[in-house]
Amino acid sequence: MAIFEGAGVAIVTPMKENGEVNFDKLGEIIDFQIENGTDSIIICGTTGEASTLSHEEHIECIRYTVQHVKKRVPVVAGTGSNCTETAVYLSKQARDDGADGLLLVTPYYNKATQKGLIRHFTEVAHAVDIPIILYNVPGRTSCNIQPETAAYLAKNVENIVAMKEATGNIIQAAKTVQLCEGALDLYSGNDDSIVPILSLGGKGVISVLSNVAPRATHDIVAKYLAGDTKGSLELQLKYLPLVAALFSEVNPIPVKAALNMMGMEVGPLRLPLTEMEEANAQTLRTEMQKVGLIA
């Protein structure tokens, strides 16, 4: 059984002006997401600036989210690291704090081999007893889970149950589905390819777009799964220009800017991320106006 079906939000981590995590604001945006149809909260992923959170902040963000959500939707905790020992530590803590599942990114910078990926993910999975979503985003990590590796892990490690597919390579995604033979659920990791991943049997999306347009993102998936593929595709295409604007600079720079434009007051970014260039911000503002997110 899938951890969730539909649209999971890769939620931002709100910050105060002094750089501290704004937990009150995190609670507000979690409620906004759930009230607008989001099917799962993914905390401490790339969009949540996990790479610049201390271990203590990382753990507290996950704990707070689980406690605030109160089982209204599944909570998936990002606990990946390029250090296997650290990933095990964060994963155990997230499990103990009540996360419903884990999101494990491929090791970045040190770039494990396929053998290393198998060892890494297997060791983390064996340390916990909750479902795991592998996160394949080679554009950010320079490390790619090959379809054969995904299939091995899906068939040999019981609690590795899904993959967030963010390669942008639909051929690789199709081969992964083929080789896994139903043993691995697939989620789109790119908002511009939700429908293509659903067409391969995907269960939904782990979305940046959902931060600003949760109902529409939910509906793209819900319509497809209900058999309204035409309606799903129409929504996917409608939001493509906004998706492009949300990725005109490195994520999560634009999405935090967008939320602030909406009056959500999620605060600044942590260095080395900086505020959005004005030309890109204007394009983002225009696209948000076109879909009615701001006046």
Question: Catalytic residue numbers?
Answer: 135, 164
- The tokens describing 151, both together, are 């299939």
The rounded distance, in Å, linking the Cα atoms of 124 and 219 is 34
- In this structure, are strands 160-165 and 40-43 parallel, antiparallel, or unpaired? unpaired
The rounded distance, in Å, linking the Cα atoms of 276 and 15 is 16
**Contact yes or no for 65/13 (Cβ under 8 A):** no
- What pairs with residue 101 in β-bridges? 76
Residue for token pair 């995590």: 21
* DSSP secondary structure string for all residues of 113-179: -HHHHHHHHHHHHHH--S-EEEEE-HHHHS----HHHHHHHHHH-TTEEEEEE-S--HHHHHHHHHH
Give CA separation, 279 vs 248, 268, 270, 284, in Å. Answer: 10, 18, 21, 9
Contacts of 94 (CB under 8 A, 6+ apart): 59, 62, 77, 79, 102
At 74, the amino acid letter reads P
Neighbouring C-beta atoms of residue 234, cutoff 10 Å: 14
